[in-house]
Structure 1
Amino acid sequence: MKRFLLLLPALALGACAQTADLEPAAGETLPPAPYGAAEPLDAEELLELDPQAAPERSVELRRESEEREDDPFDLPPER
């Protein structure tokens, strides 16, 4: 019974996900259009990350058996 009572709030929070489109708060507007743009961006365009904020993962992985180059900044701690 205790498990059910502990699980109930988690299920309730999981069921309250927002499915509607994002809109500005009452009395607020979206940010102005970027320099050079004809019209302001909508909410979905504002949520897209630019490549610098979310770079693609490099597929080149090092293997443990590879020799690594010396790192001049890998110094022992000062005493």
Structure 2
Amino acid sequence: MNLRGSGIAALLLLAACGGKSELQPPPGQSLPAPAPGEARQPTPTELMTPGPQARPQRSDELLRRSEDRRDDRFDLPPN
């Protein structure tokens, strides 16, 4: 019975941490200064969004020519 109660308590705690609110800098601190050449300071949401180098887009470029695979000595048939 104790294990069941602790499981329910863990689920309730996990459900409670899903609140969403606008991100704000900690009290007494401000957002980072804008990058050189930028006209405005980025918002917290913009700072949390990964850039194209962090999440590259899929390349749909097709192969232009086929190439034979090199022999792989570790590509063995199943036993």
TM over 0.5, shorter chain: yes
- TM norm structure 2: 0.64
Unmatched 5+ stretches in structure 2: 62-66, 75-79
Shift >3 Å, 4+ stretches: 57-60
Q: Distance in 1 between matches of 2:28 and 2:57?
A: 37
Look up the match of 2:69. Answer: 69
Change (3 A) 1:39 1:10: same
How do 1:34-73 residues align onto structure 2 when only pairs under 5 Å count?
34-58=35-59, 69-70=69-70
Distance (Å, rounded) in 2 between the aligned partners of 1:53 and 1:40: 21
Question: CA-atom RMSD, angstroms?
Answer: 2.9
CA distance in 2, matches of 1:4, 1:58: 50
Structure 1's unaligned 5+ residue stretches are 61-66
Q: Which amino acid aligns with 1:30?
A: L
* Superposition TM-score, scaled by structure 1 size: 0.64
Opposite residue 41 of structure 2, the aligned amino acid is P
Task: State how far apart, in whole Å, the 2-side matches of 1:38 and 1:75 are.
Answer: 57
Identity %: 37
